[in-house]
Amino acid sequence: MTLCEKLSKGKFVITAEVAPPRGIDYHKVLSGLKPLKGKVDAFNVTDCQRSMVRMSSLVMSHLLLKEGFEPVLQLTCRDRNRIALQSDLLGAAALGIRNICLMTGDFTTLGDQPDAKPVFDLDSVQLIELASSLNRGCLMNGKEIDARTNFCIGAVFNPFAGPETLQVWKLEKKVKAGARFIQTQPIYDIKLAEEVSELISSTGAYPIIGLLPIKSLKMANFMKKLNPTSVPDSLVEGLERSSDPARYGWEYVVDLAKGIYEFGKGIHFMLVGKVKELANFIDYLRNNGRGNEKN
């Protein structure tokens, strides 16, 4: 059963993030994912995250698909104009890549090549509208293509990125434009996770709550610097007290995941070297939660 089919049937879905290599040797990435094969429903392949050069997300998604992993192609507006975006999406469809997650993208000054010129010809809502147009058999300019694409379109939601009314408005526009599932930025509070899940569900989209294990106090402080309200003080204090911050951060996320599994519809794990642990934890969830629900 594909990710899209699971969404249609209301199954609880688990996705995981995959970063393409900073070079051409992709074998290590594929090998590292083997413990998750058959356990994670789909793998979100990042598009030069944090504005740092990595292998093409389109190419990495194709390589995953060839090895039997279902990819979610991440595509940002940062590096491509509307011509290149449509070209890449048509290429993805031809390669059999169905799941896409579309976003505006980080600004280039945040990366390790800050002098790079950003494009941002479109924003995330316009890119979703573009993909929806391809699904109807038309380019953005209205010209027909030889066959419709069949994308399962996703987008992102950041509950910490500014005025709540603005973020909700953007979320609603993304869903109206054609986003079927919404993956969130990392959340570290179970009450907020439930509120966000309900909010996304109310728009008609499928909520997939983002979880990122924090492996050090330094990492927590960096995330708080980016979004001051994103990491609770209680989590920071726990990391400070712990003799093993990496283990504490993982267990904290595991407890959150157990709670989300009881009321939510999906979890998106942004891994930090915890592949085997995640595989074991998914087995635990599937066998012990929600009436032993199996996908």
CB 134 within 8 A of CB 82: no
Domain that holds residue 277: 3-214+250-288
39 in any annotated domain: yes
Picking from 254, 237, 256, 245, the residue whose alpha carbon sits closest to that of residue 215 is 245
Can you give the pLDDT at residue 292?
47
Q: Identify the H or E element spanning 63.
A: helix 57-66
Picking from 41, 18, 1, the residue whose alpha carbon sits closest to that of residue 286 is 41
243 in any annotated domain: no
147 vs 225, residue with greater confidence: 147
Read off the pLDDT of residues 41-65 as tens digits, 9 standing for 90 and up: 999 999 999 899 999 999 999 999 9
Confidence band, pLDDT 50/70/90 cuts, at residue 289: low
Average pLDDT over residues 111-137: 96
Q: Which residues of 69-85 are buried (b: 16+ CB within 10 A; e: fewer)?
A: bbbbbbbbbbbbebeeb
Read off the pLDDT of residues 222-247 as tens digits, 9 standing for 90 and up: 888 878 888 999 999 999 999 999 99
Amino acid of residue 172? E
Can you give the pLDDT at residue 228?
81
154 in any annotated domain: yes
pLDDT at 110 over 90: no
- pLDDT, the chain, mean: 93
173 in any annotated domain: yes
Average pLDDT over residues 146-164: 93
User: For 33-37, 141-145, 274-278, which range has the lowest pLDDT when averaged over its residues?
Assistant: 274-278
Q: What is the CATH number of the domain that holds 91?
A: 3.20.20.220
Average pLDDT over residues 266-279: 88
125 vs 290, residue with greater confidence: 125
pLDDT at 268 over 70: yes
Picking from 111, 34, 120, 115, the residue whose alpha carbon sits closest to that of residue 84 is 120
145 in any annotated domain: yes
CB 252 within 8 A of CB 260: no
Q: Identify the H or E element spanning 216.
A: none
Q: Tell me the C-alpha distance between 171 and 158, whole Å.
A: 9
Q: Tell me the C-alpha distance between 190 and 138, whole Å.
A: 42
pTM of the model: 0.94
Can you give the pLDDT at residue 227?
82
Can you give the pLDDT at residue 39?
94
Tokens 């994912």 sit on residue: 33
For the chain, what is the domain count? Answer: 1
CB 252 within 8 A of CB 224: no
Can you give the pLDDT at residue 79?
95
**CB count in 10 Å sphere of residue 216:** 14
CB 71 within 8 A of CB 42: yes
